[in-house]
Amino acid sequence: MPKKEYTKEEMQELISNPNVKSCTSKYITFTDEFKVRAIELDKSWFYHRKIFKDFGFPEYVVNSKIPKQSLKNRRFKSKEKWPIWLVGNKKWRQKKETIDTSKMTKDEYIEYLETKTAYLEELHKKVCWYYP
């Protein structure tokens, strides 16, 4: 959690920057174009504060921990994932699928419960196995 909280004037100044997607009193969200360009410049050995200064960020952002920490995080993630995954805040993992049992008939519901019980028994055998 950041120690610095931005005032309304600072938030307005940050939101007016074309490289900022959104800003709250504690967090700054950067645009996808800025993220990609900053990673490219960082790989070209540009100093992190110079990158942020060239993109028009105010001094209280440039002189804080934000430039170093955000580029460090992106550099670390770019080693693990493709660059396309660094862009955007979308989650790549889909939401768990839920089954609505209220719309099932009695026979479908019984079959569903039998299948679920068989699955849980198999899972229990794998988790709670004993040495012979």
For 31-62, the pLDDT digits (tens) are: 888 888 888 888 888 999 999 999 999 999 99
The pLDDT, as a whole number, for residue 23 is 92
The pLDDT tens digits of the residues spanning 106-128 come to: 999 999 999 999 999 999 888 88
Q: Where are the domains of the chain?
A: 8-86, 98-132
Residue 50: the pLDDT is 92
pLDDT of residue 1: 43
Q: What does the pLDDT look like over 4-34, one tens digit per residue?
A: 899 999 999 999 999 999 999 988 988 888 8
Please choose, from the candidates 11, 35, 34, 32, the residue with its C-alpha nearest in 3D space to the C-alpha of residue 23. 11
Tell me the Cα Rg of the chain: 24
Is the pTM higher than 0.85? Answer: no
